[in-house]
Amino acid sequence: MNTFSAEAFDFVRKMKPGYVVSVCADGLANLSLKGTLTAFDEHHLIFADMASSQALAQSKHAPVTVEVTDPFSRKGYRFRGKATSIPVKQEAAAYIAFYENWGLEQTASRVNHFVVIEVESCEAFMASGFSWVTTETVRESWKESFNNPWKF
């Protein structure tokens, strides 16, 4: 079982949302933003699936890629591993407690299943599309977008 760094662990815990990419049964890629994604421990990522397309719902050890990026610094981590779906009604007490301690109320009634990802690799990256601008330029651009959502 691979361990990812304390720095990556802290980063994911602070950023929370991440993109999960999996492959559906028909061979098409499935990309989904997971607002409940976080580090469960130094070997696993987890998300509470409440309204997804169910692409991973029936999966046992499905390969996935997860990217978590800080939009201001453009730095992030890419994780690869195997995802396992844990229905809320089956052996999910530890995951329910984890999310309730995190602040998700009524977890057992709101979550369909948990997806636990055993991390096989972790690499740091910088979003290349922004490499020519400074962090402050990106930060100001994001502020402008948030303050004026209808301005292009």
% of the chain beyond a pLDDT of 70 = 80
Residue predicted with more confidence, 86 or 137? 86
Report d(CA 26, CA 41) in Å as an integer.
32
Structural domains for the chain: 6-147 (2.30.110.10)
**pLDDT at 72 > cutoff 80:** no
* pLDDT band, very low/low/confident/very high, at 29 (cuts 50, 70, 90): confident
Report d(CA 48, CA 113) in Å as an integer.
6
46-73: average pLDDT: 77
* pLDDT band, very low/low/confident/very high, at 117 (cuts 50, 70, 90): very high
Residue predicted with more confidence, 101 or 58? 101
Residue-level pLDDT at 25: 76
Buried residues in 111-131 as b, exposed as e (16+ CB within 10 A): bbbbbbbbbeebeeeeeeeee
Report d(CA 3, CA 10) in Å as an integer.
13
121-140: average pLDDT: 72
DSSP 90: S
